[in-house]
């Protein structure tokens, strides 16, 4: 056998070996499998209650809000940007929706369905408006996503504080919390059920429509996408509009869970949603990411928070852990992009 044939044989063997499969999993999913396995092993060892059915169901329920915000954040990341205002959108949605619902409930105490419907629409419209403004700034005026969303985060938080004076908003119908905060449908908690419906719709949008493919094209190379006829400005606008609307839906669900409208909720959602996306393999450079992986990434963040609570780790240290994991995930993302480029070459 010649040296060339032996070398080809060794290369073929390495491609079929465990290292090859580990590499393929890493290229497809990033560091998410490693993080998930590590969390399951560590927290199962630290707490006997961690892997119980009741606790895991609680993790899924509590994570549904972050799942929604994270899949919205994915659209911004796919286009090469990000949205730092998602926490503010949740807060503004909560405040506006609760104020509208409380005022309508006082005026129309018998029209519960109408009150809940109009209140939710008002809150979601307020959150969607912030997303639309972000989209206009990024798409039309070419403002940096960092500056645009950071500025709107400050504006929205100020508006929420102005509307409430820092005081929680009460007076919503009890049926709102009973249905969307603590209720269930077909045995599935309401927030989880809403999240599943939205995820199915967004999966179809991303994977089965031309518009979904355009998000990837714009993030991969906006100049090439424009030369190919992709309406890049419309896609950029839609990315931030979708991000705002989905975060607003999460805001109303969280308001139902808390039974109050509050201006200070969602402060950590920007960091956590970006962390969930990056851990799930969504590239910060744009053009790379899968919706189902983002859902798993958000569930991992919820699992991590739950495990640290059971292990009685202080909340201040929990933010340190999330930040460290985000840094590790970004480093891994850079390495993964280099491996993908090398494979293409």
3-state SS class at 153: helix
Pick from 29, 330, 26, 75: nearest CA to 216: 75
Which pLDDT tens digit goes with each residue over 177-200? 999 999 998 889 999 999 999 999
219-228 average pLDDT score: 94
Pairwise CA distance, residues 82 & 243, whole Å: 9
What integer is the mean pLDDT of 57-79? 96
pTM for this one? 0.91
Give the percent of the chain with pLDDT over 90.
72
Cα–chain-centroid distance for residue 120? 20
Whether the predicted pLDDT of 14 surpasses 80: no
CB contact at 8 A, 314 and 122: no
> What does the alpha-carbon distance between residue 90 and residue 264 come to, in Å, rounded to a whole number?
9
Average pLDDT on 99-109 reads 96
Residue length of the chain: 345
Query: Do residues 297 and 280 lie in contact, with contact meaning Cβ atoms separated by under 8 Å?
Result: yes
Residue 252's closest CA among 198, 316, 333? 198
What domains can you pick out in the chain, each with its CATH number?
A: 32-336 (1.10.3470)
């Amino acid at each position: 056998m010649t040296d060339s044939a032996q070398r080809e044989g060794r290369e073929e063997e390495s491609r079929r070996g465990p290292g090859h499969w580990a590499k393929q999993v890493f290229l497809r999913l990033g560091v998410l499998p490693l993080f998930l396995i590590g969390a399951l092993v560590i927290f199962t060892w630290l707490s006997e209650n961690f892997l119980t059915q009741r606790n895991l169901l609680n993790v899924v329920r509590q994570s549904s809000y972050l799942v929604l915000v994270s899949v919205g954040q994915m659209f911004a990341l796919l286009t090469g940007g990000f949205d730092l205002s998602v926490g503010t959108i949740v807060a503004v949605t909560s405040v506006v929706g609760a104020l509208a619902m409380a005022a309508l409930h006082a005026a129309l105490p018998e029209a519960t369905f109408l009150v809940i419907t109009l209140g939710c629409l008002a809150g979601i419209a307020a959150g969607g408006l912030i997303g639309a403004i972000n989209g206009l700034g990024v798409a039309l005026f070419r403002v940096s996503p960092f500056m645009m969303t950071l500025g709107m985060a400050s504006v929205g938080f100020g508006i929420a504080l102005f509307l409430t004076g820092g005081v929680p908003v009460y007076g919503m119908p009890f049926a709102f919390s009973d249905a969307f905060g603590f209720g269930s449908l077909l045995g599935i908690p309401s927030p989880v059920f809403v999240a599943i419906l939205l995820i199915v719709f967004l999966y179809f949008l991303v994977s089965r429509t031309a518009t979904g493919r355009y998000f990837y094209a714009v993030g991969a190379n906006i100049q090439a996408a424009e030369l190919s006829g992709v309406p890049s400005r419309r896609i950029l606008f839609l990315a931030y509009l979708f991000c705002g609307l989905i975060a607003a839906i999460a805001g109303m669900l969280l308001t139902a869970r808390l039974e109050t409208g509050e201006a200070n909720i969602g402060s950590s959602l920007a960091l956590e949603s970006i962390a969930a996306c990056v851990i799930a393999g969504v590239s910060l450079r744009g053009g790379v990411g899968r919706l189902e992986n983002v859902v798993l990434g958000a569930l991992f963040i919820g699992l991590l928070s739950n495990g640290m609570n059971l292990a009685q780790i202080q909340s201040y240290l929990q933010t340190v852990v999330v930040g460290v994991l985000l840094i590790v995930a970004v480093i891994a993302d850079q390495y993964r992009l280099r491996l993908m480029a090398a494979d293409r070459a």
